[in-house]
Amino acid sequence: MNKKRRSELTRAVAMIEDAARIVEDAAFDEQDSFDNLPESIAYSERGEQMENAVSCLENAHGLLDEAITEINEALA
């Protein structure tokens, strides 16, 4: 791999790491909000939507971590 592609991929990894932190923070904040809901709301459609959002964000975070790993392996 040439120096330019290596540099671009290194920059991409940094951007994905930033995105992963944002997604992880959002998942944590949404989970915290859900945990502090009154029971009547937690078991409502709104609570289910919040739980689904947390699950989706956690999955997205995992996929971003996988992307970072794959790119770093390509750079090795």
What are the tens digits of pLDDT across the range 18-27?
999 999 999 9
pTM of the prediction?
0.90
User: Quick count: other Cβ atoms within 10 Å of Cβ 5?
Assistant: 11
Measured in whole angstroms, the distance separating CA 68 from the mean position of its chain's CA atoms is 12
Q: Where are the domains of the chain?
A: 3-75
Looking at residues 59-71, what average pLDDT do you find?
A: 98
Cα separation, 74 vs 76, in Å, equals: 6
Q: What percent of the chain has pLDDT over 90?
A: 100
Cα separation, 35 vs 54, in Å, equals: 11
Residue 54 — very low, low, confident or very high, per pLDDT cuts 50/70/90? very high
